[in-house]
Amino acid sequence: MKYYAHTAEDGEGNRLPEDKWQPLSAHLRNVADLAKGFATPLGLAAEVEMAGLRHNLEKSPFQST
């Protein structure tokens, strides 16, 4: 089963095909990398990276956003 973080829509709100959706794994890695970059000057890179990787765990696997 494939999991998605975000579905894609066109400018009129029509849902685009699945190949345009963002996979959950890519989304989590992108968030973790971005958060890690912001937290590095604070000495919290590892902790914030882990939070970024886990930030969608509370969502249902069937929920799309």
**25-32 contacts: CB < 8 A, separation 24 or more?**
27/56, 28/52, 28/53, 28/54, 28/55, 28/56, 29/53, 31/55
Query: Which residues lie closer than 8 Å to 2 by C-beta, 6 or more apart?
Result: 18, 23
Is the pLDDT confidence value at 37 over 80? yes
Instruction: Report pTM.
Output: 0.76
Give the pLDDT confidence of 43-60 residue by residue, as tens digits: 999 999 999 999 887 776
Given 3-state DSSP classes, what are the helix, strand and coil percentages for the chain, each rounded to the nearest 5? 50, 10, 40
Length of the chain: 65
